Amino acid sequence: AQDGILRRQSARESAARTYARALPIVPVRARGLTIEGADGRRYLDCLSGAGTLALGHNHPVVLEAIRDVLDSGAPLHVLDLATPVKDAFITELFRTLPPGLADHARVQFCGPAGTDAVEAALKLVRTATGRSGILAFTGAYHGMTAGALEASGGATDVRVTRLPYPQDYRCPFGIGGEYGAELAARWTESVLDDAKSGVPRPAGMILEPVQGEGGVHPAPDAWLRRMRQITEARSIPLIADEVQTGVGRTGRFWAVEHSGAVPDVMVLSKAIGGSLPLAVVVYHEDLDVWRPGAHAGTFRGNQLAMAAGAATLAYVRENNLAERAAALGTRMMAQLRSLAAEFPCIGDVRGRGLMIGVELVDPEAEPEPALPNEELAGPEAAGPRPAAPDLAAAVQRECLRRGLIVELGGRHASVVRLLPPLTISDEQATAVLDRLADAVAAVAH
Ligand code: PMP
C-alpha cells in the first residue's frame, strides 16, 4: 500500500511539494513523538509539523477539546461571529501574553496560515503609520505570500529594506557574540538616520526572535532590546514573528520574553492551533486603526482549531512546559556539542530550548578567511568551514533509515533541525540523540 500511495502522489502532486521528497514515508497513525508508517515502521518525529505540535501528535487533551466541539452540536464555521469556543480561546491566549502587552492588546483572527497573519500585520502597521517601507532581516522567513499583497492591490509600493540579523556562527562581520550583535544594531541605526542615502522612516520592523527556517539563529537578548529601543525612539512599530518560536518552544512562553523587549505586534500561528490551522495577530490597542471589514477573510478562526489551540495553550502553561523545554534543550545541546567535538563535519550546534540546529560543514575544506584582526575575531579566528548541504541531506536520509525524522534548514540548507514536541520524555530525547549520532557517524566515514 505504501509504495502505491507514494507512486500515485508523486505522479499527481505539484512539483512544489517539498517534505514528501526528502521523507518518503506514509504516516497512518501517530501519538506523541511517534509516527507509524503504512509499512508498519515507527519513527520519532522531530519535525513536528515544522514546530506546530507543541504537545506532539494526538495529545489526549487536544483530541478531547476537538471531540467536545463536535459532540456539542456547535457550528463548525461561522466566519468571525462571536462563539463560546472563540471566547475560551481568547481568554486563554490573553493569560499567556507577555506582561506589558496583555493589558493593552487586541487580537485579530486571520487565517488560516502564519503567512496570512504576517500579511495582516504588515498591512496593519502601514495603515496605522501611513508609511509603506518595512525593515526585515537577512535570513528571515515570514511565509510565502509576499506577492499576494501586491496582487491584491493597495500595496504595490511594498519596499523592504534588509538589515543584518546578528549571528554568532558565520557572523557577517566575522565577529559574532555581543560585539557582532552591537555592530548589526548600529548598522540598523545608521541606515535609519542617514538623511541623504538612508531609508525613509518605515511603517514597521519585522523580526523573528529566533530565526527558524534561516538556520536556527537565536537573536541575542541585548540585540532585541536594542531593536526595541531603536524602533521606539523613531516611532516605528516592532513586529515579532513568533509563528515558530511561540508557545514555550524556546524556553519561555513567547520568545521575546527572554529579552524583556515588548513588541507592538506579535504574529502567532502553528502551535496556537494545537495541530489545526489557526493564525492571529496580537497588537497594542493604539494600533487598532482598522475600519470594520478593512481586513477580511472567510476562514478567520476555525472553531475546532480554536478549541484545540485553547487546550494546548492551557496545557503548556499549567504544566510549565516552557521551563521543561529550556532544561531539556540545554541538555540536548550539550550532548550535541560533545558529538561535534568528535565529528569535525559538525561545524556548530545552536538553538534555544527545543529549537535546535546542527550545522554540517565540509571537514576537508579550508576554513573561510579569518578577520585580519585576530583579537577581534576571537575564537572564530580560523573562520568557519564552508556549509555542507549534501552532508546535511545525507544525515537526514540516514536519520530516516534509523527511524528519526528531522528537518533541514538554513541559508545553505546545511542545518539539521530538531523541533520535538515539548512533551518529549528524557528517554525519548536520548533515543533521538543516539539515532542522530549514528546517522552522523554513518556519513562521516
Ligand atoms: N513565520 C515564521 C517565523 C515561520 O517559521 C513560518 C513557517 N515556517 C511562517 C511565518 C509562515 O507560516 P505558514 O507556513 O503557516 O504560512
The tens-digit pLDDT sequence of the chain (445 residues) is 889 999 999 999 999 888 988 999 999 999 999 999 999 999 999 999 999 999 999 999 999 999 999 999 999 999 999 999 999 999 999 999 998 999 999 999 998 999 999 999 999 999 999 998 889 998 888 988 865 454 444 444 557 888 999 998 988 888 888 889 999 999 999 999 988 887 889 999 999 999 999 999 999 999 999 999 999 999 999 999 999 999 999 999 999 999 999 999 999 999 999 999 999 999 999 999 999 888 888 999 899 999 999 999 999 999 999 999 999 999 999 999 999 999 999 999 999 999 999 999 999 998 887 676 666 655 555 789 999 999 999 999 999 999 999 999 999 999 999 999 999 999 999 999 999 999 999 999 7
* 108 Cβ below 6 A of ligand 1: no
Instruction: Give 338 Cα–ligand 1 centroid separation in angstroms.
Output: 31
* 241 Cβ below 6 A of ligand 1: yes
Instruction: Give 116 Cα–ligand 1 centroid separation in angstroms.
Output: 9
Task: Please tell me whether residues 99 and 202 are part of one structural domain.
Answer: yes
pLDDT number for residue 157: 52
Ligand 1, pocket-test mutation among 47, 53, 119, 142, most atoms within 8 A of CB: 142
pLDDT number for residue 196: 84
Instruction: Give 137 Cα–ligand 1 centroid separation in angstroms.
Output: 15
Q: Which residue has the cell 496583555?
A: 102
pLDDT number for residue 172: 83
Instruction: Give 375 Cα–ligand 1 centroid separation in angstroms.
Output: 39
pLDDT number for residue 148: 47
CA 405/CA 397 separation, integer angstroms:
9
pLDDT number for residue 197: 80
Tell me if 105 sits within 8 A of 282, measured CB to CB: yes
User: Quick one: which atom of ligand 1 is closest to the CA of 242?
Assistant: 3
User: Quick one: which atom of ligand 1 is closest to the CA of 244?
Assistant: 5
Q: What is the pLDDT of residues 327-375, one digit of tens each?
A: 999 999 999 999 999 999 999 999 999 999 999 999 999 888 767 666 6
Task: Please tell me whether residues 135 and 277 are part of one structural domain.
Answer: yes
pLDDT number for residue 376: 62
Q: List the CATH number of the domain containing 271.
A: 3.40.640.10
CA 64/CA 417 separation, integer angstroms:
30
Question: Which of 297, 318, 339 lies at the terminal end of a domain, its last residue?
Answer: 318
Please give the tally of structural domains in the chain. 2
pLDDT number for residue 8: 93
CA distances from 68 to 76, 86, 307 (A): 12, 14, 9
Task: Please tell me whether residues 255 and 120 are part of one structural domain.
Answer: yes
Q: Given CA atoms 121, 257, 419, 277 in this order, what sign does their dihedral have? A: negative
Task: Please tell me whether residues 236 and 250 are part of one structural domain.
Answer: yes
pLDDT number for residue 156: 45
Instruction: Give 148 Cα–ligand 1 centroid separation in angstroms.
Output: 15
pLDDT number for residue 380: 53
413: left (phi over 0), alpha (psi -120 to 50) or beta: left
Question: Which of 318, 341, 376 lies at the terminal end of a domain, its last residue?
Answer: 318
Tell me if 104 sits within 8 A of 285, measured CB to CB: yes
Q: List the CATH number of the domain containing 362.
A: 3.90.1150.10
pLDDT number for residue 118: 93
Range of the domain at 431: 2-58+323-444
Look at residues 118, 134, 169, 163 and name the one whose alpha carbon lies nearest to residue 410. Answer: 169
Q: What is the pLDDT of residues 82-140, one digit of tens each?
A: 999 999 999 999 999 998 999 999 999 998 999 999 999 999 999 999 998 889 998 88
CA 90/CA 71 separation, integer angstroms:
22
Q: Is the ipTM of this complex over 0.85?
A: yes
Q: Which residue has the cell 518525529?
A: 45
Task: Please tell me whether residues 311 and 337 are part of one structural domain.
Answer: no
Question: Which of 318, 339, 354 lies at the terminal end of a domain, its last residue?
Answer: 318
Rounded to 10 degrees, the C-alpha dihedral 287/293/298/304 comes to: 50
Beta bridge partners of 29: 36
Task: Please tell me whether residues 70 and 208 are part of one structural domain.
Answer: yes
* 111 Cβ below 6 A of ligand 1: no
Task: Please tell me whether residues 113 and 72 are part of one structural domain.
Answer: yes
Task: Please tell me whether residues 88 and 129 are part of one structural domain.
Answer: yes
Residue 326 grid cell: 529550556
Instruction: Give 243 Cα–ligand 1 centroid separation in angstroms.
Output: 6
To the question of pTM greater than 0.90 for the whole model, the response is yes
Task: Please tell me whether residues 412 and 386 are part of one structural domain.
Answer: yes
Task: Please tell me whether residues 400 and 336 are part of one structural domain.
Answer: yes
Task: Please tell me whether residues 47 and 82 are part of one structural domain.
Answer: no
Beta bridge partners of 282: 107, 266
pLDDT number for residue 395: 98
pLDDT number for residue 375: 63
- Name the pairing type of β-strands 204-207 and 133-137: parallel
Task: Please tell me whether residues 262 and 400 are part of one structural domain.
Answer: no
Element (DSSP H or E) covering residue 238? strand 238-241
* 244 Cβ below 6 A of ligand 1: yes
Which of the 8 DSSP states describes residue 292? T
Look at residues 180, 171, 247, 179 and name the one whose alpha carbon lies nearest to residue 209. Answer: 247
